[in-house]
A and B are shown apart, each in its own frame.
Chain A
Amino acid sequence: MTDSVDVLNMLKLVYTLYTLAVISLIGWFALGVVNPKGKPRILKPATFYTYVGALITVGVAIHIVTFNKIPWVEIDFKRDSLKAAQVVNITIEDHKFMLPSPKIELKCNEYVLFDVTSKDLTYGFGIFRQNNSMVTQMQVVPGSKNDLMWKFGKNGVYHLRSTEYSGPKGANMYIKDVFEVKGCAEDDKYSQKGGSL
């Protein structure tokens, strides 16, 4: 199952290649536009319209590709109609997470719903691996429904961190090793602690 590490690695590769290509293009353009032997040239409108068509295609294609390749998009769209195998209720107040228990075991390959309520400010709810890379997150807005449905496909132990600024008092909203996923066929190699909680 695709997870955030796979997606971010792909993004890193694609965006790095894109960056190098764009820098090269502008470098080539800069050399060409000042080339003393260069001759003025006007493009045909057809070239322009082809280019605009390509831009529209790319703009739309990005979202179609991610919808089909990133598993959590569909879950997010359908979360109201999907039945959660496990619901984790969390309340945040006065810059503190109030958890149902200090350590929470999460089911593997089942829908887990994180239902988080803020009693005062806007916070964030983020799950992170042992190497600090992000698994998922959402905003936690007071007076709103903040529910995130997720399916974990790998065994691991994860941290909880507020991903939104809530004032200087919220700078340390970070609890290590809160979540543990068990029962999967595969381990999350970036989230192994060695032994269970």
Chain B
Amino acid sequence: MSFLNSLINGHEGGLKTDGLTPTQKVTLRAVIIGVLYYGLSALEGMMMRAHAITPLPMLDNSHYFSVMTVHPIVGIFGSTYLIVFGAFTFLVPYLMKKPLYSIKLANATWILIAIGALMAWLGGFIFHYAPLYTLYWPLPVDFSQFNAVGGLVFITGVALIMIGTLGFIYNIFATVFYTEEGHEKRPFKPLLISALGIDGMLNILYKMTGREPYAKEPAVSLPVVAIFRGTIDTFLDALVILTCGILILVYIIGDLSGASMDYTSVNALLYKNFFWWGLDLIADGLVLIYIAGSWYLLAMLITGKKLFMQNIARAALLLELIVSWAVWSHHLLADQGQYNMMKLVSGEMVTAFELVTQGIAIFITLVTLWSARPLKMSNELKFLLGGILGFMLAVPAGIIQADMGLNRILHNTQWVAGPHFHVAILVGLTMTLYSAIYILWPTLTNGVKLYSQKMASYHFWAHLIGGIGMGAFMGMAAMDGMLRRTLYLEGEYQTYMILAGICGLLLLSAWVVFLLNVLMSIGLKGLLGIFKKSKLQTKDLVPQEA
């Protein structure tokens, strides 16, 4: 079959979109847009990488920092949120063995997030609005540096993302609790106890006191428990970001209407605490919980076996949720106005528990895989191992910087951006998402064959080496004092930046190859067909005959 034919029609007939259910389509739509936004974020990343090697003439300071501002918005919300929400929109009903609560709401969710991410991007691209994702007060309302209209576009975009997020949250919770037509009434209490994972703790307690288990067969499967718990953090995070967004909007509207307000009315340190409490629920809350749940699910699907130490895993997820509410002070270890006791307890000690909770998830997943030896080295298995490796590297890097002694010389350096969050996001999180995409691929496409296994293997190795390598060279630059939000114009760290740039190119090439492989598999016709209305009038997740 010729290249052009495969590109248009797909591999061995490609994707037959007439046979896709509405739930399959809405999942694929969110994932595809998320993968495209990943590419945009990767391109922005490469622009900044190139600028760090040698200043690019087309990037002045305001443009450079606006790219830095929208890069995480596009990467986290436009890409990761869409892929994760898309996957969970399918997985929750799939694991609960009932239809999604609302397909319309699921469609509204991805559309709102996609439009919101685009608006936030335009706020940076057109208006150079550049307060960075940290939005430290009063920078977002500093209209001597930023155009208020740009702020309006950017903040409205972020607000749309959060509204879409609330839609996702409602759909997930409703799917867990609602009783589908024709089914006997599902009691609320056991579902809630199980979804919160309390039954796992009760099982451990009952066992310790010599009683029969509280629930032999929990009402909600372990991955759904993880999704449910992570979604609680997603909700709290959305509320905090929306609140800050409204505050900023009030000032923006005040400025645009000629009634500028005094920004000192808001205490910058208090605001910083509030904002980081919410923002950190992403990094140290929902991401870690969703990831643990995804690993458990992937391990069970790959091995076909039950999870090792299931009750402990359920209990650990509850611990992770509570830990995630109390760790934000590690972002304020360099703030001398922050109480030392808060730095010590929240910033250091409680944060260190993430080593434990994430360590438990890694251990349980690996032991479950080992219990099913020998396994085939499938794409989903290799990406899962890559994802685990990413968090094994990034979580300790985070624990190291969440130390009052080390933070004094690591805060705001490339260490934070490189070995910690880029390795966590690119290697840990993204490789786990790729694993989920590969394992769900046959179910979501009704069995479309992958165009090239060689391309899938290149995707894996280039992404893994690129991600770890980029983080490593950024970390080395940090050891030599390189800050993460500072422009160096005299070639101070050029060698490290060239090496990090090469690794960044590997990452970008991995995405291009992955995208091409997907496109050649489903075909352009298949790709466009995903965005057309489903011809199947069914709430079933997959076609009956599939």
Q: Does B366 contact A29, Cβ atoms closer than 8 Å?
A: yes
**Which of B90-98, B282-290, B391-399 contacts its partner?**
B391-399
Choice from A7, A29, A40 contacting B371 with Cβ under 8 Å: A40
**Which of B42-50, B114-122, B349-357 contacts its partner?**
B349-357
A52 at interface by CB-CB < 8 Å: yes
Q: A22 to chain B: closest CB distance in Å? A: 5
Complex Cα distance, B142 from A76, in Å, reads 32
Choice from B139, B336, B396, B476 contacting A167 with Cβ under 8 Å: B139
- Count residues of chain B with CB under 8 A from any CB of chain A: 86
B161 at interface by CB-CB < 8 Å: no
Complex Cα distance, B480 from A132, in Å, reads 7
Please, which residues of chain A bring their CB within 8 A of the CB of B483? 126, 161, 163
B487 at interface by CB-CB < 8 Å: yes
Q: A62 to chain B: closest CB distance in Å? A: 6
Complex Cα distance, B145 from A171, in Å, reads 12
Please, which residues of chain A bring their CB within 8 A of the CB of B411? 137, 139, 163
User: Given A39-B373, A138-B336: A7 and B409 within 8 A (CB)?
Assistant: yes
Q: A112 to chain B: closest CB distance in Å? A: 15
Q: Does A62 contact B373, Cβ atoms closer than 8 Å?
A: no
Q: Does B269 contact A41, Cβ atoms closer than 8 Å?
A: no
Q: Does B334 contact A138, Cβ atoms closer than 8 Å?
A: yes
Complex Cα distance, B144 from A169, in Å, reads 10
Please, which residues of chain A bring their CB within 8 A of the CB of B382? 30
Q: Does B136 contact A122, Cβ atoms closer than 8 Å?
A: yes
Q: Does B366 contact A19, Cβ atoms closer than 8 Å?
A: no
B174 at interface by CB-CB < 8 Å: no
B300 at interface by CB-CB < 8 Å: no
Most buried by B among A26, A37, A39: A26
Please, which residues of chain A bring their CB within 8 A of the CB of B482? 132
B337 at interface by CB-CB < 8 Å: yes
Q: Does B371 contact A42, Cβ atoms closer than 8 Å?
A: yes
Q: Does B61 contact A37, Cβ atoms closer than 8 Å?
A: no
Q: Does B370 contact A132, Cβ atoms closer than 8 Å?
A: no
**Which of A66-74, A82-90, A96-104, A179-187 contacts its partner?**
A66-74
B138 at interface by CB-CB < 8 Å: yes
Choice from A12, A33, A145 contacting B337 with Cβ under 8 Å: A145
User: Given A4-B409, A15-B397: A48 and B363 within 8 A (CB)?
Assistant: yes
Q: Does B400 contact A11, Cβ atoms closer than 8 Å?
A: yes
Q: B260 to chain A: closest CB distance in Å? A: 14
Which B residues, 283 to 299, have Cβ-Cβ distances below 8 Å to chain A? none
Please, which residues of chain B bring their CB within 8 A of the CB of A163? 411-412, 483, 486
B264 at interface by CB-CB < 8 Å: yes
Complex Cα distance, B376 from A33, in Å, reads 8
B377 at interface by CB-CB < 8 Å: yes
Contact with A along B395-438 (1 / 0, CB 8 A): 01101100111101101110000010000000000000000000
Q: B126 to chain A: closest CB distance in Å? A: 16
Please, which residues of chain B bring their CB within 8 A of the CB of A42? 308, 367, 371
Instruction: Give the nearest-CB partner of B316 in chain A.
Output: A52
Contact with A along B451-483 (1 / 0, CB 8 A): 000000000000000001000100110011111
Which A residues have a C-beta under 8 Å from some C-beta of B? 4, 7-9, 11-12, 15, 18-19, 22-23, 25-26, 29-30, 32-43, 45, 48, 51-52, 55-56, 58-60, 62-63, 66-67, 69-70, 72-73, 76-77, 120-122, 124, 126, 128-129, 131-139, 141-148, 161, 163-169, 171
**25 pairs from A and B in contact (CB 8 Å cutoff):** A4-B408, A8-B409, A11-B400, A15-B397, A22-B392, A26-B385, A26-B392, A40-B372, A48-B308, A48-B367, A55-B359, A67-B405, A69-B405, A72-B405, A121-B136, A121-B138, A121-B139, A122-B136, A134-B409, A137-B412, A138-B335, A142-B138, A164-B136, A165-B136, A167-B130
Chain A to chain B: the 7 pairs with minimum beta-carbon distance, closest first: A144-B337, A70-B405, A59-B352, A38-B373, A66-B405, A165-B485, A168-B61
- A26-B388, A73-B404, A167-B130 provided; 12 other pairs, C-beta below 8 A? A22-B393, A34-B377, A59-B352, A121-B138, A133-B479, A141-B337, A145-B336, A148-B336, A165-B132, A168-B62, A168-B128, A171-B61
